[in-house]
Chain A
Amino acid sequence: MTHFLTRRTFGGLALGLAASRVPAFAAEPSLVDAAKQEGRLVWYTTLVVGQIVRPIIQAFETRYPGIKIDFVPAPWQETSLRIINEGRANQVKGDLVDGGASFPPLQAAGLIQPYLVQSAASYPQAYRDPTGLWTANIIQPSTPSVNLDQVKKADIPQSYEDLLHPRWKGRMAWPDSPSVSGPPGFIGTILTAMGQDRGMEYLEKLAGQRIASVPSNQRVVLDQNIQGQYPLVLMIYNYHAAISMAEGAPIDWLRLSPTMVSFGQMSLLKNAPHPNAAKLFLEFSLSEEGQSVYAAAGYLPAHPHVPSKAKGLKPDDGQYKDFVLSALAYSEHDKAWQAIYKKLFV
C-alpha cells in the first residue's frame, strides 16, 4: 500500500483517481513478486491503442515499475488466427487476449486458461464466467442514432415499431458486421424480445425498409449519420455518439426497449510465457482502479461500481432496459441469425 501511495503522486491518472475517490487496487504481494521476476508480458489486444491501450499500460507500469507490457494490436480475426496458430505450433508468445468475437474460437480450441480475478465477485453474473475463463472489461450498448439536423423531434423513433414508418424507407444504415454488434445481433435481440413468430413478422417488415449495409465498423456508420448520409442509423455504440455529441455533432442516440448490450472481455492464455505478470495486469485492468482508466478514456467500464465519464450511458444510470448478449451466447445462434440476415436484408 505504501508502495502505491508513493507512486500515485505520478501522472494524471493518480490525480483522476484522487478526484473520483476510486479505491486503489492492492494485489497479493506474492503475485507481484512473481510478476516482477518475469519482468514483462505480451498483450494481444483488439482495443484502440491511443485511446486506451497506452493509457492503461502507462498506469500499470507506473504502479509496477520493472514490468513491461508489450502489445500487439489487431482486429479480432487476426488476433484469433495468430493465437490459434501459435497454440497449434506449441509456441505460445502471448499472455493475454481481449475482445468479444475473438473469444469463442479460442475457447473451442482449448487455448484459454481459467483465472478468477479478485474483483470478479463485484461483477454481475452476465459479465463474468464463473470459472474465470473470461471477465468483461468494457460494455457496448448497441443503439440507433439520429441526425437532429435532418430529423424533426416529433419524428424520432421511440420504439422498434417506429422504425417501420415509411419515412425511413431507404434512409437507414447499419454496419455489415457478421457479429453480435451487427445485424445478426439486432435480429437476435428482436427474436428474443418479441418471440420467434412476431419477431420474424417484424423483421420481414423491416427488410422492406431497405436498410443500407455499410461494410465497415460502428464508428464509420455513425460518422455517416453525422455527415447526413443516413438520417437514422442502427447498431452503433452509444459511447461513440456521446463523444461526438460532446464535440458538437448534431446527433442523439436512442433508448429503444430493449437495448442490446454486448461486451468485450479479457482472458489469460493457456501456456502463457509470463503467467504471473499477465495475472497481475488482468487483476489491475478489472479492478476499480483499472476500470476508471477505461472510463476516463470514454469507454463504458464493465465494473458496476465505476461510472462512465458521460452520465447515462450504462443501463443502470441511463435507465434503459438492457438485453445482455455475450459473444459466447451469440455464437450459439450465429448461424441461424446470419441466415435470416442474408435471406431478408442482403
Chain B
Amino acid sequence: MTSDFADLPVADTTEAPPLHGRAADLFRRAWLGVLIAGIIATLVLPPAWTLLRTSLGTMQSDMSLSGVTLQNYADLLASPRLGTTALNSIVFATCATLVSLLFGGILAWLVERTDVPLKGLAYVTTIISLGTPYILYVTAWLYLLGRAGPFNDLYRSLIDPDATPFNVNSLAGMVMIEGFLWSPLVFLLLSSSFRAANAEMEEAARMAGATVAQTMMRISLKLAWPAILALALFVFIRNLESFEVPALVGMPGRVDVLTTEIYRSIKEMPPRLGYASAFSVVLLLIVSVLLFFYGRISRHAERYASITGKGYRPRPFLLGKARWPAACFILFNFLVVLLLPMLALLWVALQPFVRPMRWAALNFLTTKQFAAVLTSPHYLQLGVNTLIVAVTTASAVMLLTMFAGWLAARRQIGGVISDQLVTIPLVFPGLVLGVALLELALRLPFPIYGTLWLIVLAFLIRYMPYGMRYSFSGILQIHPELEQAAGVAGAGRGTTLRKVVFPLLWPAMASGWLFIFLLCAKEMSLPLLLAGPNSQTISVAMFDLWSNGQGGEVAALGLIWAALMTAVAATFHVVMRRQSATTFGH
C-alpha cells in the first residue's frame, strides 16, 4: 500500500476516468501543493534573486551595485589561510551541533519519556534562555569565562595566582557557547517528537531485559532518527553560517573560521555584501546537496512513525535508580544554560559599570539601571510593537509550514519544491535579506515601508525554515495509515487534515510557535534596518543601549524583557499542554 492517501483508488476504478475527470482529479490533488509552493516562492525568490545578484556585483563607494563578476567567488577561494579556516569551521559546526543535540536531546527524552523529577525546571531553563537576547547571552559567557571573570578569578585565588586556566576565546569556548545557544531549539523540537512517541516498543525492550541506555540507543533514538537527522543537518548548517559567536568569541583569540572574514567584510565601508552573498550562495548549494541525501533517507519515513492507528497511549518510562542522576543532568543544564549567565547579567545590571565579581564591589550595588528601564515611558510602546510582530510572525510561519510540512512529508505534489524553497532563507545574511526587503517595500504599490508589517514579512521569510523543521518532523511521526483510514471512511483531504492530522500535530506546532515567537522577540539585525519612526521594537532599543555602552541598562532591560517573555511563553505553554492533553490523553 502506498503511503499517499491521495493516491488511493477512488470508488470506481474499473474504467479509466474521462479526460475532464482526470483533469479534475489532478486539480484536486495539486491545488494545495501549487498554492503553498506558490506562496513560499513569492516570499523567498525575490530576496534569493537579490542574493544572487549581489553575489555577482561589486559595491561601489556610493553603495550602488555594479557589474557582473565572479570576483566575489574568487575572493572566497583566495581568502587567507583557507585550509585552516575551513577546517576550523567544520570542527566548530560539528562539535557545536553535537553539544546541542546531546544536551537538548537527552533533556527532551528525559522530560517527555521518563519519570525524572524536576521536569518543570527543564522547560523554564529553555524558555528563559530563548527569551534572553543573544548578545546578552554571549556577553554573559564572555564575562564568566573571561580572563578577569569569576572562574579564572576563583582559580587564581585558590590555586595559582598567576594562572588563567579558562580561555573563552578559543575553539572550545566557541563550541560551548554556540552549542548552548541552540540546545533549546533541539529540546523544544525533540520534546514534541518524544511526547507523541509510542511507548510500546520501549516497554517491550525493557521487558526483554534491556537497560535504560540500551533502550534509549536502540529504540527511542532509532524511532526519532529521521527527525534527529533533519535537525542535526539544520543546526549544522546554522552553525556553519553563523558569524556572531565566531566573531565575538573567536576573533579576540585569533581563532578564525570561514565566516570571520565575512563578518569583517560586512562591517567595512561600504559593506562588501557581494562577498557575504557569494558565501551564502555556495552554502546554499551545499545545503541542496545535503537535502538531496536527506530526502533519500527520509523516503521511507513511515517506518519511523510512532503515532499509528493502533491503541496508542504513551506512558512514561520508569528510570528506577537512574532517576536522581537524571535529575542531576537537568540541574546541570539549568546551571550552565540559565543560572550562570543570568547571574552574570544580574551582576552587571546591579553595578554602575562592569567590574569583576568581588566582595568589595557589593558596596557599589545599585538599582539605578532597573529604575531607568522601569521609569522610562518609551519602552511600553516598543514592547507592544514587539509583541504584535512576534505573535503575528509565529502564527503565520506555523500556519504556512504546517501545510508545507505535510506536503513534504507525504511527498505530495509541490512538497519537494516547498521543502527546498523554504530552506533557502536559512543561509541569507541578515543584512542582504534586509536590503532586499527595503528595495521591495519601496517599490510595492501598498504602503508597507516603515511599518511593523514589513518587519513581520522579513521575519516570516527568515523563520520559515525553523517552522518547517517543527512541522515536518511532527508530520513524520504520524503514520499515514491514519489519514488513509480517514480517506477510506469517506473524509476529503480537508476534513482529514482538519480532524486527524492537525490535532495530532499540536505539540509540534506549539513548540515551533513558541520557538519562533521567542526568536522574533529578540532578533536585532532586521528591525535595525527596517523599522520606521513608529515601528521601533524593543530589540532596537537594546541594540542602541548595548552598542553605546550602557551595558548595565541593557542587562537590566534584557532581564526584565526575558522575565516578561517567560511569563507570556509559560501561559502559552500551559494552554497548549491542555490542548495536547485532550488529544493525547496525557
B-contacting residues of A (Cβ < 8 Å)?
A: 42, 48-51, 54, 70-78, 80-82, 84-86, 88-89, 91, 93, 101, 104-105, 108-110, 173, 176-179, 212-220, 222-224, 226-230, 240, 244, 247-249, 331, 334, 338, 342, 346
Contacts and interface: CB of A to CB of B under 8 A. Distances in A.
Given A78-B529, A247-B353, A219 B549 contact: yes
B353 A223 contact: yes
Contacts of A220: 549, 551
Nearest 7 A/B pairs, CB to CB: A219-B549, A70-B533, A108-B62, A228-B148, A109-B62, A89-B442, A48-B548
A42 B533 CA distance: 8
A48 B547 CA distance: 9
Most chain B CB inside 10 Å of its own CB: which residue of A218, A222, A228: A228
Contact of A81 (B356, B435, B443): B435
A176 B146 contact: no
B148 A227 contact: yes
Contacts of B534: 70
Interface string B421-437: 00000000001001100
A331 B146 contact: no
A49 B251 contact: no
B268 A72 contact: no
A54 B263 CA distance: 32
Contacts of B80: 342
B248 interface: yes
Most chain B CB inside 10 Å of its own CB: which residue of A179, A215, A217: A215
B271 interface: yes
Contacts, number: 158
A9 B442 CA distance: 44
Contact of B438 (A42, A70, A82, A173): A82
B251 A176 contact: yes
A51 B442 CA distance: 31
B450 interface: yes
A229 B544 contact: no
Contacts of B146: 224, 227, 229
B4 interface: no
B529 A81 contact: yes
A73 B540 contact: yes
Nearest to A150: B148
A104 B61 contact: yes
Contacts of A244: 353
B457 interface: no
Interface residues of B, number: 62
B251 A213 contact: yes
Given A73-B540, A109-B62, A215-B252, A223 B354 contact: yes
B254 to A, nearest CB: 8
A247 B248 CA distance: 27
B86 to A, nearest CB: 17
A227 B357 CA distance: 9
A49 B354 contact: no
Contacts of A249: 353, 355
A13 to B, nearest CB: 18
Contacts of B270: 80, 105
A101 B148 contact: no
Most chain A CB inside 10 Å of its own CB: which residue of B63, B64, B268, B450: B63
B38 interface: no
B299 interface: no
B269 interface: yes
Contacts of A346: 264
Given A48-B548, A91-B442, A72 B353 contact: no
Contact of B356 (A51, A88, A109, A227): A227
B449 interface: yes
A219 B435 CA distance: 28
Nearest to B266: A77
B350 interface: no
A48 to B, nearest CB: 4
A72 B532 contact: yes
B528 interface: yes
Interface in B336-395: 352-356, 364, 372, 376, 378
Contacts of B263: 215
Contact of B549 (A42, A240, A331): A240
Contacts of A342: 80
Nearest to A48: B548
B93 to A, nearest CB: 19
A223 B356 CA distance: 11
A49 B541 contact: yes
Most chain A CB inside 10 Å of its own CB: which residue of B254, B269, B533, B541: B269
B431 to A, nearest CB: 8
B17 interface: no
B253 A85 contact: no
Nearest to B529: A78
A223 B268 CA distance: 24
B253 A212 contact: yes
Nearest to A40: B533
Contact of A109 (B63, B449, B547, B548): B63
A233 B301 CA distance: 57
Given A85-B442, A178-B268, A229-B146, A74 B528 contact: yes
Contacts of A215: 247-248, 251-252, 263, 267
A104 B532 CA distance: 23
Interface in B235-273: 247-248, 251-254, 263-264, 266-271
B531 interface: yes
Nearest to A334: B269
Most chain A CB inside 10 Å of its own CB: which residue of B61, B253, B439: B61
Given A77-B271, A179-B269, A213-B252, A227 B354 contact: yes
B438 A222 contact: no
Given A104-B61, A223-B354, 5 more contacts: A73-B544, A80-B270, A212-B253, A227-B146, A331-B269
27 contacts: A50-B376, A50-B553, A51-B548, A71-B533, A72-B533, A75-B543, A75-B547, A78-B529, A80-B270, A81-B435, A85-B435, A85-B439, A104-B61, A105-B62, A105-B269, A109-B62, A109-B64, A178-B267, A215-B251, A220-B551, A227-B146, A227-B149, A228-B148, A228-B356, A229-B146, A229-B148, A346-B264
A105 B63 contact: yes
B529 A177 contact: no
